[in-house]
């Protein structure tokens, strides 16, 4: 068992170090998808399709595919994904929303804090049996469902090392400890080096034991290396097992899209996004702590979905907010069946969201999906070691007081509250977004490799832990003229969480810009403080926003994307903005041709225009130095029922690298025919459109309409459908 555990531990290590999964098959995810989580009848699914809910879920718990659910979606002709294939392995402490196993572990600890059974995960993330279960189960699921091509395979829902993003000292089982020791041997040149770092005297590698949280809280010398390494290993083990699941799926079907659902706030439970984003092709994410932006920065090709729970104006705003951050769809949670009943009647919530869904499926989100985040001149460090160090210091401070909640009784909600570490990261993210300055997030490993030449400003939000390599990278960045904004004491701990005698950046502390204002929750102050910092760094925002009276606008964020030489700007008012439409004066750094994508309005080429923003719908602008070219459409003007009608769409060379067109096909009564391709991406300025006329289709004049999303230009072709020879 020991040798096998060591072998699997090494496998986990190697998997955690591999590059990201290959890009998932793109076709389905070139467009924005709206997926229904709850199961419906065949009439219900067909009704949902009429309001642009275009996909469904089929259970595959423990690998057993729900045959009845599959039959329903197939009968309704709805694309689907498979749900909860290995939740019993990845989410046992949150299975089906029940945290019984987690509460049992906490009860074991309360009864006897020395009982290590409380910190033994079932199954262990390093257990050979867990790997073998995935090795057997996943290919079977892939083979069973192969003819139907699921949109993705969800390995588990609301995963976590313990109960989602809760902190717990998992795992001290024999397989876990064996894997941990293998992991350590890859990071330390010798046992003597580990003992020197940890301040221990282990005689053999197989005697090494991690420092658990209780011991770390009692430690008085500031050396928490054994605890910090153990927490880092747990994140690696979690990511390694997920990655093993993905690799097993890909081995069974190279086009299979692996996924995890219910991703949590950055922090405990395995939610180190630098690692987690390298494990799957798709992630459905609960937006907290800027995890969407962070995940997208670490894995630009990762397919990101979010979840919708409501139908009010705030929810509509949030879904557009997520589009501007790079999501490619959302999953609907509808436990009260407010979207459609079993007879196919659209419910209240479905009716309230129908117009929004039509717009989300209408091409603008697809244009963002076909684009890339704008290059950034600001880098922000997102450091999990710093998060852990500051969490531990907070708990130690609480122990010196009275009435504090023991760490074992803290919930995931307790650890998701706005701590100083989260506040600084949040302030940096929000402040730069309000100034229209793109940001790139760095992991500690990325920073240790050096700061890219294009970065002018490096932000270290409460970065209490810096490795030697990170510190050297920061010093080299400053030496070549880069600016560093930091709050707290950066580098008071090393990368293993051993307190330094002298903070890592002490020698250049006088050259750092003090960023204590990052702790402010006052948006106006934050923007006012950051403005001079970016000016000092030589960063010039693409645009500035003022009110009609000339005052700076403080409640609008700007998200900036690039599509070739076209810039997409999404302007959206803050969540707490007044529920009235307001005019904003947009002034560009230089004149460009501007088009508003919702209204298709040409805003001129002077570099200054007025935009009206309400509290939900963003303003989305396409900017380019050159005017966007028109479209040409060639194809037949006559056809007969039963024929395939083919057209060729072309756009002369223009500034966009991947323009999106929205294609509709209407019958003689003006109703849409649902076999039209919808949103179509031009490749090298060209695309083919193929439409099928069934034998029973009505005769008369059909209309093909193609709209260029970026320019708003529309081209149409009327096709007369008649029986007989033309």
Name the DSSP class of 501.
S
In the chain, CATH 2.60.40.1180 sits at 543-624
Cα–Cα distance list, 295 to 273, 302, 609 (Å): 6, 8, 34
Distance CA(396)–CA(404), nearest Å, equals: 10
In angstroms, the CA 642 to CA 213 distance is 71
What pLDDT, on a 0 to 100 scale, did the predictor assign at position 27?
A: 64
Picking from 288, 331, 324, the residue whose alpha carbon sits closest to that of residue 306 is 331
Identify the CATH number of the domain defined by range 2-373: 3.20.20.80
The per-residue pLDDT for 210 is 98
- Cα 410 to its chain centre, rounded Å, is 26
What is the model's pLDDT at position 669?
96
Is 723 exposed, middle or buried (CB count within 10 Å of its CB: 0-12, 13-18, 19+)?
exposed
Q: For 179-196, what is each residue's pLDDT tens digit?
A: 999 999 999 999 999 999
Among 358, 287, 371, residue whose Cα is nearest residue 321: 287
Are residues 630 and 713 in contact, defined by beta-carbon separation less than 8 angstroms? yes
Q: What is the pLDDT of residue 587?
A: 98
Which parts of the chain register pLDDT below 70?
1-27, 96-97, 725-726
Rounded Cα distance, 30 and 369, in Å: 6
How many other CB atoms are found less than 10 A from the CB of residue 577?
17
Task: Give me the residue label for tokens 């955690």.
Answer: 16
d(CA 212, CA 193): 20
Q: Cα 7–8–9 angle (5° rounding)?
A: 90
Q: Within the chain, which residue ranges are assigned CATH 2.60.40.1930? A: 632-721
Place of tokens 């309000």: 434
Residues 133 and 89 sit within 8 Å (Cβ to Cβ): yes
Burial grade of 162 (CB within 10 A; 0-12, 13-18, 19 or more): buried
Which overall architecture, per CATH, does domain 378-536 show? 3-Layer(aba) Sandwich (3.40)
Per CATH, the architecture of 543-624 is what? Answer: Sandwich (2.60)
Q: What is the pLDDT of residue 675?
A: 77
| Burial (Cβ within 10 Å: 0-12, 13-18, ≥19) of residue 403 | exposed
Both tokens assigned to 184: 């350590």
Query: N- to C-terminal Cα distance for the chain?
Result: 78
The Cα 174–Cα 9 span in angstroms is: 11
CA-based Rg of the chain, rounded to a whole angstrom? Answer: 27
Contact present, 476 and 468 (Cβ < 8 Å): no
Cβ atoms of 710 and 597 closer than 8 Å: yes
* Helix boundaries (H) for 400-443: 420-434
Question: What CATH fold (topology level) applies to the domain 632-721?
Answer: Immunoglobulin-like (2.60.40)
* The residue count for the chain: 726
Cα distance between residue 34 and residue 49, in whole Å: 10
List beta partners, residue 568.
Answer: 561, 622
- How far lies 237's CA from each of 12, 204, 231, 241, 465, in Å? 6, 22, 10, 6, 21
Number of H helices, E strands in the chain: 20, 30
- The span from the CA of 51 to the CA of 57, in Å, is 17
Q: Where in the chain is the domain with CATH 3.40.50?
A: 378-536
């Amino acid at each position: 068992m020991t040798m096998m555990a060591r072998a699997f531990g090494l496998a986990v290590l190697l998997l955690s170090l591999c590059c990201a999964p290959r890009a998932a098959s793109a076709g389905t995810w070139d467009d924005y998808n709206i997926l229904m989580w709850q199961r419906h009848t065949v009439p219900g699914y067909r009704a949902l399709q009429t309001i642009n809910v275009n996909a469904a879920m089929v259970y595959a718990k423990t690998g057993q595919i729900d045959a009845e659910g599959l039959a329903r979606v197939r009968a309704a002709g709805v694309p689907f994904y498979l749900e909860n294939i290995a939740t019993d392995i990845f989410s046992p402490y949150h299975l089906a929303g029940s945290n019984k196993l987690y509460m049992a572990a906490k009860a074991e600890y309360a009864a006897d804090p020395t009982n290590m059974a409380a910190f033994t995960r079932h199954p262990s993330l390093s257990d050979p049996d867990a790997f073998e279960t995935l090795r057997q189960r996943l290919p079977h699921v892939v083979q069973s469902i192969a003819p139907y091509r699921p949109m993705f395979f969800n390995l588990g829902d609301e995963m976590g090392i313990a109960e989602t993003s809760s902190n717990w000292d998992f795992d001290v089982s024999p397989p876990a400890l064996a894997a941990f020791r293998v992991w350590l041997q890859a990071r330390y040149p010798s046992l003597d080096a580990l003992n020197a770092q940890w301040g221990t005297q282990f005689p053999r590698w197989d005697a090494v034991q991690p420092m658990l949280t209780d011991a770390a809280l009692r430690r008085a010398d500031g050396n928490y290396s054994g605890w910090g390494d153990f927490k880092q290993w747990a994140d690696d083990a979690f990511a390694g097992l997920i990655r093993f699941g993905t690799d097993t799926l890909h081995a069974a079907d190279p086009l299979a899209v692996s996924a995890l659902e219910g991703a949590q706030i950055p922090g405990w439970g395995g939610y180190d996004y630098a690692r987690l984003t390298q494990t799957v092709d798709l992630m459905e994410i609960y937006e907290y702590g800027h995890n969407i932006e962070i995940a997208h920065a670490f894995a630009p090709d990762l397919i990101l979905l979010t979840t919708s729970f409501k139908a009010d104006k705030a929810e509509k705003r949030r879904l557009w907010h997520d589009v501007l951050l790079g999501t490619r769809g959302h999953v609907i949670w509808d436990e009260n069946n407010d979207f459609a009943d079993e007879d196919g009647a659209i419910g209240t919530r479905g009716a309230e969201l129908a117009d929004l869904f039509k717009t989300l499926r209408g091409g603008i989100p697809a244009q963002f999906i076909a684009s890339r985040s704008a290059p950034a001149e600001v880098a922000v460090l997102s450091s999990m070691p710093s998060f852990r160090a500051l969490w531990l210091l907070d708990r130690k401070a609480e122990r010196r007081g009275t009435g504090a909640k023991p760490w074992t009784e803290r919930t995931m909600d307790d650890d998701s509250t706005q701590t100083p570490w989260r506040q600084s990261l949040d302030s940096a993210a929000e402040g730069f977004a309000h100034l229209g300055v793109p940001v790139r997030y760095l992991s500690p490993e990325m920073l240790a490799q050096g700061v890219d030449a294009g970065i002018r400003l490096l932000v270290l939000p409460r970065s209490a832990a810096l490795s030697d390599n990170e510190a050297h990278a920061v010093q080299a960045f400053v030496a070549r003229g880069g600016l560093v904004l930091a709050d707290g004491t950066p580098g008071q701990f090393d990368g293993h969480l051993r307190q330094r005698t002298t903070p890592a950046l002490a020698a250049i502390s006088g050259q750092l810009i003090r960023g204590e204002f990052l702790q402010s929750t006052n948006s106006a102050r934050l923007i006012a403080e950051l403005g001079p910092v970016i000016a000092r760094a030589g960063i010039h925002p693409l645009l500035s926003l003022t009110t009609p009276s000339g005052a700076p606008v403080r409640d609008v964020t700007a998200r900036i994307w690039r599509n070739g030489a076209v810039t997409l700007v999404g302007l959206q008012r803050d969540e707490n903005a007044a529920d009235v439409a307001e005019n904003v004066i947009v002034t560009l750094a230089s004149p460009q041709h501007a088009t508003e994508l919702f209204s298709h309005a040409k805003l001129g080429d002077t570099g200054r225009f007025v935009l009206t923003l309400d509290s939900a719908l963003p303003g989305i602008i396409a900017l380019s130095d050159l005017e966007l070219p028109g479209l040409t459409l060639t194809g037949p003007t006559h056809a007969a029922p039963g024929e395939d009608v083919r057209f060729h769409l072309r756009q002369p060379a223009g500034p966009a690298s991947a323009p999106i067109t929205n294609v509709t096909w209407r019958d003689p009564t003006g109703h849409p025919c649902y076999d039209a391709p919808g949103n179509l991406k031009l490749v090298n300025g060209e695309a083919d459109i193929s439409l099928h006329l069934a034998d029973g289709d009505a005769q008369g004049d059909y209309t093909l309409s193609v709209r260029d999303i970026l320019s708003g230009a529309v081209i149409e072709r009327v096709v007369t459908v008649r029986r007989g020879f033309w």
